[in-house]
Amino acid sequence: MTADVKNEPTRRDFLYIATGAVGVVGVGSAAWPLVDQMNPSAAVQALATVEFDLSTVEQGALVLIKWNGLPIFVRHRTPDAIAEAQGTALADLKDPAPDSARVKLGQEQWLIMIANCTHLGCVPEFDTGVFRGGWDCKCHGSQYDSAGRVRSGPAPKNLVLPPYEFLSDTLVKIG
Ligand code: FES
């Protein structure tokens, strides 16, 4: 485990983008700003897929969107965060997975994950824990790295990846 000096954006850069009903995601004690930019109709909400415009997410930032009632992290990783994730030895991981298994080839800057801790489902906080550009679950102390891989604490598994595909370099379809 490496305790890194944080030099990435903080929660100030975290946007919560609600794609459905407001207030459905428990975010613990964090007071994240709410940006309701989609406001889809009921018919759209009923669809099993969500398309999201990645051009709205600056490098280093993280947004939280909703898909099928689940909170989804969309993280635009910096080159440093990618390098750190790629350079981590699998032997250091609780749930070993190379960074390449966490992202799409050629789109390594985008990390898209279900935002529920694999312990009891809390929404971890971004970049407030041990790992630079990682997640800290305040509920019981699980720590995730910059690839969303669990590194310590009671969580048994890495943050789960939803099904998704890139429709273009700036458009992703989740579901
Ligand atoms: S719910 Fe995240 S550590 Fe318990």
Band of residue 17 on the pLDDT scale cut at 50, 70, 90: low
**What local confidence, expressed as pLDDT, does residue 156 receive?**
98
Within a domain: 157: yes
Query: How many A from CA of 122 to the centre of ligand 1?
Result: 6
**What local confidence, expressed as pLDDT, does residue 55 receive?**
95
| Range(s) of the domain holding residue 139 | 11-174
Within a domain: 115: yes
Higher pLDDT pick, 32 / 75 = 75
Within a domain: 139: yes
pTM, two decimals, is 0.78
CB 13 within 8 A of CB 57: no
Query: How many A from CA of 132 to the centre of ligand 1?
Result: 19
β-strand pairing of 143-144 with 135-136: antiparallel
**What local confidence, expressed as pLDDT, does residue 125 receive?**
97
pLDDT tens for residues 147-169? 999 999 999 999 999 999 999 99
Within a domain: 117: yes
pLDDT over 90, % of the chain: 73
At a CB cut-off of 8 Å and minimum separation 6, what does 112 contact?
Answer: 72, 73, 74, 75, 161, 162, 164, 172, 174
pLDDT tens for residues 100-144? 999 999 999 999 999 999 999 999 999 999 999 999 999 999 999
Residue 157's domain is classified under what CATH number?
A: 2.102.10.10
Q: How far is CA 147 from CA 33, 109, 127, in A?
A: 23, 10, 12
At a CB cut-off of 8 Å and minimum separation 6, what does 43 contact?
Answer: none
Q: CB atoms < 10 A from the CB of 50, how many?
A: 22
Within a domain: 3: no
Average pLDDT score over residue span 46-64: 91
Within a domain: 2: no
Within a domain: 60: yes
The closest-lying atom of ligand 1 relative to the alpha carbon of residue 122 is 1
Q: Phi and psi (nearest 5°) for 148? A: 75, 25
Residue of 95, 122, 150, 158 to test ligand 1 pocket, by largest number of atoms within 8 Å of CB: 122
Within a domain: 6: no
Total structural domains within the chain: 1
SS3 call for 80: helix
Q: Is the pLDDT of residue 94 over 70?
A: yes
